[in-house]
Amino acid sequence: MISAKLLLPCVVGMLVGLGYLACGVVPSTSQGRTLPAAGHRYGPTTPGGYYVRVEPRAVTMSQNQNPQVTVAVENTAGQPVDDVLVTFTPSEGMLTTGSSRTRGGTVVGTFTAAPGSDSPRTAFLVVAVENVEVTVFIDIVPVVFGR
Amino acid sequence: MSARRTCHVVVLCFMLGLLVSQAWGQNLAVFPKEEILLVGGDFRLRSVNSNMAGASLLGGGESGGFPTQDGATKSFFDTRLRLYWDFRPSELLRVHYRMEIGDVRFGGSSAENGSDVTGNLVPVIGPGSGGGVGAGGVNVETKNIFLEFAMPFIPGLSFRGGIMGYGDRYDFNILADDFAGFQFLYNRGDVSAHFVYFRFFQGDTRNNADNSNWFGIDGQLQISEATRAAATFYYWSDQEHRGTLGFTPFQYWIGTEVTSRVTSGLGPIQVKGFAIYNNGEGFFGRRTGKNHGVNVSLAGDLPLNFGTVGLQVQYITGERGSKEQMEGGSKNGKNIGAWVSYFNRMYAGPEIISLGPIIDVGDGFSSKWGTGNGFYNGDYNGRLLAIARSAFPVLPSVSLHLVGAYDRAAASNVNGDHSRGAEFDLWAQWNIFPKLWFRFGGAYYLTGSWWKNNSDASFDGRRPGVPHPDNIWQFGTRLQYDFG
């Protein structure tokens, strides 16, 4: 019989292990795979009646990085909608996309900060689908903090 | 087999199986080859011309500048190369190393103490050295070296550990530098949060800094399409000094911030406001007694067709008098109403009051200098600061920046004076090629009565101040190439 002294580590080990296993074998939650949408869904838009999701909502980057922002457009049932126009308006720098209309329900944009602006600041990226506008706050931090 | 041994074997086998399954689940090689190597950095060449005096090591070694009387002009060129290497064997893991060669100076030998305009000690093509955590004043130094990877169990959770840059979200008003420590970060959906721990070693942030611990927890939430709210708690503990003071010096900060895009008749305004409360006892052993303070700021920037205009107002509580009264003087042991922090860097603003945007020279008046007591420059008299800033794209590759700032102490100094001064800045940026840019301009600071005969405004914060402090000017150029 396992002593009480050993019981606790065993139980903790089992629980940790089971959680670890679950993360490893369940595709929807494993690392390296597309995460299920977790952010708030905004809408419906007018006139299309779409719902908009933006990920990530929080971006922290240094001047030399190029983070991606994914915009997903869905119908009421949560199904992806194609060929919907998505516009990006950054407060500084530029944002490039492969297509301005959704394919597979999404548009992916890549943000580039304004050149030479190495001071820490918050950039605003406005994502618009019809009449719904979602703002992504991009915290730009120095490449090197120390002097 | 005994129950104990059976238990160990079961647990070991279980964990081994889980490791294999986890690796399989990630569809990654168990020992992936580190074949992805990213390299980048920047090269900077700048010139500095200024009559700002630098603080002395006698006061604790903080960087910072201040007016003096009939001060000498400092002029020099320097150059710096920063490089980084990023090893990314998978999307889940990276090892980062960042180094700096420089600043290597040419000229400026008239500065006897070897400091630049902000008081940072810089050798004139000095000997090579390196390895110091965030160390300055050496030719070769390690800036960052850390490991970062996505944690199992909880999607969105990651770990970072090593020597890394860290700054608070409040315009770096509390803490910003390269430190040794670790972070747990969570970013998923509308929530982003982190826990951070740093170990401050002797000399990390100043020459006489004590070994101490820094803890922080920060979280932000998207509360609507165009607004986010955040809250932060930082705690600093200096147990190493318990023996000399009879108590453990500490400080804590509780802050909240709201960032929003507000619609107005002129267009959307980008608004950012924060409030921080600080409380503590003792600081680096220079005094006993308690302190508390508040730091509030509200900023708004309005993009227009012809450029961007912005306004920022900040108020930091302070205490009347001088630091001499506090350090063993009449205010020693008393509870004072002044703000304490490691750094105060008002970015996106003036060149001299703040960390200079023109030539990136250092911390300006917003750093601590002189006394080493941790009070942000202002000093423990606090500050009322109003900044008007603007940026105009005059050509596709050239932008013009105009800034004005009014600087006033929240409480009077030992002579009863409040007025610190006013600053005006004009500078331009020319984006020559992608990632190659040139910035040049100047700043002028009209010194107010607060600086006159003020012992707080001296090399070490103890000597008598000058009766007629100079107005301060600073001009510079900065040519930089960012790559990678």
Residue B289 sits in a domain whose CATH number is: 2.40.160.100
- Assess if residue B467 is contained within a domain: yes
Q: CB distance from A39 to chain B under 8 Å?
A: yes
DSSP assigned state of B71: P
Residue A64 at interface with chain B, using a CB cutoff of 8 Å: yes
Tokens of A54: 């933006």
Whether B7 is covered by a domain: the verdict is no
∠ CA(B210), CA(B213), CA(B218), 5° rounding? 135
Alpha carbons within 13 A on the beta-carbon side of B305:
1
- Is A6 in contact with B3 (Cβ distance < 8 A)? yes
Distance from CA of B188 to the nearest CA of A (A): 7
Residues B426/B359/B420/B115 CA torsion (nearest 10 deg)? -150
Per residue in A125-147, pLDDT tens? 999 999 999 999 999 988 877 66
Domain boundaries, chain A: 1-34, 51-141
CB contact under 8 A, A57 and B192: yes
B188 half-sphere exposure, CB direction, 13 A CA radius: 14
On whether residue B430 sits in a domain, the answer given is yes
Res. B72 pLDDT band, cuts 50 70 90: confident
Interface test with B, best of A2, A70, A129, A135 (most B CBs within 10 A): A135
Q: Which residue of A has its CA nearest to B27?
A: A32
Q: What is the mean pLDDT of residues B435-456?
A: 91
Interface test with A, best of B11, B92, B101, B425 (most A CBs within 10 A): B11
Give the domain extent around B189: 48-483
**Chain A residues with CB-CB distance to B303 below 8 A:** 91
pLDDT at A101: 95
Is the alpha carbon torsion for B63, B408, B459, B333 positive or negative?
A: negative
Q: Is the residue at B401 inside a domain? A: yes
- ipTM of the predicted structure? 0.80
**Is the C-alpha dihedral spanning B338, B343, B347, B351 positive or negative?**
positive
User: How many domains in chain B?
Assistant: 1
Tens-place pLDDT, residues B280-338 = 887 654 667 888 999 999 999 999 989 999 999 999 998 898 877 877 778 777 888 88
* Residue B274 to chain A, least CA–CA distance (Å): 13
Which of B84, B94, B188 is the best residue to mutate to test the A interface, defined by the most A CB atoms within 10 Å of its own CB? Answer: B188
- Read off the pLDDT of residues B97-132 as tens digits, 9 standing for 90 and up: 999 887 776 665 444 334 433 334 444 443 344 444
β-pair type (A68-74, A51-55): antiparallel
pLDDT (0 to 100) of residue B374: 53
Residue type, B24: W
Residue at B11 is within a domain: no
What does the block give as tokens for B71? 């001060």
- Predicted confidence at residue B375, as pLDDT, reads 56
Strands (E), A86-129: 87-90, 94-97, 106-112, 121-129
The beta-strand segments (E) located in B168-211 are 176-188, 191-200
CA-based nearest distance A87→chain B, Å: 15
Return the top range by mean pLDDT from A12-26, A39-53, B27-41, B102-116: A39-53
Give the model's pLDDT for residue B118. Answer: 38
CATH of domain A51-141: 2.60.40.10
Model confidence band, residue B365 (pLDDT cutoffs 50, 70, 90): low
How much is the pLDDT for B67?
A: 77
Which residue from A29, A137, A142 is facing B228, i.e. has the nearest CB?
A137
Q: Which residue of A has its CA nearest to B434?
A: A115
